[in-house]
Structure 1
Amino acid sequence: MDNATRYLVPTGIEPIMNKILNLVPKVGISVAGGRLLAVRGRQSGQWRTTLVNVMTAADGQRYLVAPRGHTQWVRNLRAAGAGELRLGRKTETFTATEVADADKVPLLRLYLEKWGWEVGKFFDGVTKDATDDELAAIAPGFPVFRLA
């Protein structure tokens, strides 16, 4: 699969589990930093939501990483340039800037350190212990956004 278009569609029981897990932040519970990402659809203009892990780097900057690749939420966020992070009744608006592939290596490593237990299966055997070259090789397949 081409890294530039890599998209792992949820299969089997995953769509059902995703619907259930999306309810958790709606009631105000954050598991491992999870938030409900809301982004306007690039064609419909309707709000679309999905559960995401908000990652905070050592410098305090926050990021979203797309472990399944160039998903619909990624495409919508690229088009909208902004969205909301929701947890219960709290809503935080943000703008997003996509991170260049050359700058993703430390971010992918940190993401795998924090959530490899949850999303490792989407990384095709690449772990937090991978070399910089290995992480750089997969970087195009994993969109990353800096939040402001």
Structure 2
Amino acid sequence: MTATATHYRAPEGADATFNRVVRWLADHGVNLAGAQNLTVAGRRTGKPQTVPVNLLRLDGREYLVSPRGNTQWARNARVAGTVELRRGRRRRTVALAELDPALRPPIIAEYLRKWGWEVGRFLPEGLSAKPTDDELVRHAASIPVFAVGHTE
């Protein structure tokens, strides 16, 4: 059975507080485990939403992975097509292209190799922070992955 793209774990309590701290640190140029801030316009309100993300560099490409699942930023990015990535004073606007679930497993595997210790508890049920190939294939549709393309 293949997992659906409906997986979503919203930050709450201590996680929401931690996200605010990481967002503040990234805004001030402090690189906490590679965190950057992603800002995207809300798909309904148009208001900017900013969240910390881990930008994965793999084989000369950059990717954004949403281990919490179909998050607000992922839904907003699908509609907007572009986001701003920021760490300290460095800002860049990038285009995002969501990858087909069949292409996601090796990217998710590398993301979890680097940040599984941080995001493991947000993964869909049945997917571990040190997944097997079968787990990756089964859950790839529930973890959005975006290829990053430069626009500025």
Identical-pair percentage: 42
Other-structure match for 1:73: 73
2:88 is aligned to: 88
Deviation at 1:131, TM superposition (A): 2.4
Q: Any idea what SS the aligned residue of 2:36 has?
A: strand
Q: In structure 2, what residue type is equivalent to 1:130?
A: P
Counterpart AA for 2:32: V
AA aligned opposite 1:65: V
Question: What does residue 5 of structure 2 align with?
Answer: 4
Matched AA of 2:11? P
- Cα distance per residue 1:64-92 (max 9 Å; x no partner): 00010001000100000001100111111
1:97 maps to 97
Quick one: distance in 2 between partners of 1:55 and 1:47?
23
Runs of 4+, deviation exceeding 2 Å: 123-131
Q: CA deviation at 1:11?
A: 2.5
3-state SS in 1 of match to 2:5: helix
**Using the alignment, how far apart are the partners of 1:70 and 1:76 within structure 2?**
10
The root-mean-square deviation of aligned C-alpha atoms, in Å, is 1.4
Helix, strand or coil: the match of 2:141? helix
Instruction: Tell me how far apart the structure 2 counterparts of residues 6 and 38 of structure 1 sit (CA, whole Å).
Output: 22
CA distance, structure 2, for counterparts of residue 55 and residue 32 of structure 1: 11
Where in structure 2 are the equivalents of 1:22-101 lying within 5 Å?
22-57=23-58, 59-101=59-101
The 2-side partners of 1:128 and 1:50 are apart by 22
Matched length: 146
Secondary structure, in 3 states, of the residue corresponding to 1:4?
Answer: coil
Match of 1:132 in 2: 133
Alignment partner, residue 16 of structure 1: 17
Greater CA drift, 116-125 or 42-51: 116-125
- The answer to whether the 8 Å contact 1:110/1:128 transfers is no
Q: TM-score, normalised by structure 2?
A: 0.90
Q: Which runs of 5+ in 1 are unaligned?
A: none
Amino acid at match of 2:73: W
Q: Distance in 2 between matches of 1:50 and 1:130?
A: 26
Which deviations, in whole Å up to 9, do the C-alpha atoms of 1:20-77 show, x marking residues without a partner? Answer: 22101110111222100011111121211000000001x2100000010001000100
In the alignment, is the contact (CA less than 8 A) between 1:39 and 1:84 conserved in 2? yes
SS of the equivalent of 1:39 reads: strand
Cα distance in structure 2, aligned partners of 1:139 and 1:86: 27
What is the deviation of 1:130?
2.6
CA gap of 1:85–1:125, structure 2 versus 1, over 3 A, is same
